[in-house]
Amino acid sequence: MAKTVFHAANKRGHANHGWLDAHHSFSFAGWYDPTRIHFGALRVLNDDIVAGGEGFGRHPHDNMEIITIVLDGTLEHKDSMGHTQQIVPNEVQVMSAGTGITHSEYNADKKKIVNLLQTWIFPKAKGFQPRYDQATFAPADRINKLQPIASPIDNEDAGLKIHQDAWIYRTTLESGKSITHKLHSPNHGTYIFVIDGKVNVAGQELNKRDALGVSETDIIELSADNDSDVLIFEVPMTF
């Protein structure tokens, strides 16, 4: 039988710094829950709202795969590899921190908030060369099907490449529709995060910003009660 862990939206860590209103699915910064350090190789899932013209000053990262998904507004990224990029909805950024990088992230619009999801995935090894990539993912390509937005660097699957045997999918499920995903390995689990809407997974109802970790099964099925926007992380449970 599948093993599940439910993370309700209102049980996430929360910090409001004025310029930043952040919710944490896993222990992060000043919020610590010993039962919520990570789900397999998925270490961070932050739901950040950044005020107009504000942002994160230059800071370092190493040995982490960092995936940023912008839901609303425009995020500007600058890093020590020489990239200056803006990220808007339906675009995804991947940054492999590897041996070490520094970067900053700012709301490029002084009048409008930016809402982003930032995820960190542990890499399969340390010391990779830092790298950066960014791509647009058409909304039409995820209606009632899984749209790969990240996949392993040594795999030919679609999506931006990361240094881990992990996949990230996004789907827009219409009300009454279902979708099934077969995992790539029996060692893998899935973490389902509802951006918006209402779905049912493994007998658990998930509403906006709820999440469910599912392990010890080789297949998952999502059924939508309302039109829903969902992220699915497939990650190794041990690595």
**How do the domains of the chain map onto residue ranges?**
8-136, 139-236
Fold agreement (8-136, 139-236): yes
Using CB atoms within 10 Å of the CB of residue 27, give its burial: 0 to 12 exposed, 13 to 18 middle, 19+ buried. Answer: middle
* Residue 124 confidence (pLDDT): 97
* Residue 1 confidence (pLDDT): 83
* Residue 26 confidence (pLDDT): 98
Which residues in the chain land under pLDDT 50? none
* Residue 30 confidence (pLDDT): 94
Give the pair of three-digit tokens for residue 56. Answer: 């994160």
Fold of 139-236: Jelly Rolls (2.60.120)
* Residue 37 confidence (pLDDT): 98
φ/ψ bin of 18: left (φ > 0), alpha (ψ from -120 to 50), beta (otherwise): left
Fold of 8-136: Jelly Rolls (2.60.120)
Please enumerate, as own/partner, the contacts of 129-132 that have beta carbons within 8 Å and a separation of 24 or more. 129/96, 129/98, 129/99, 130/81, 130/95, 130/96, 130/97, 130/98, 130/99, 130/100, 130/101, 131/81, 131/95, 131/96, 131/98, 132/79, 132/81, 132/83, 132/85, 132/93, 132/94, 132/95, 132/96
CA-CA distance, 178 to 136, in Å (whole number)?
25
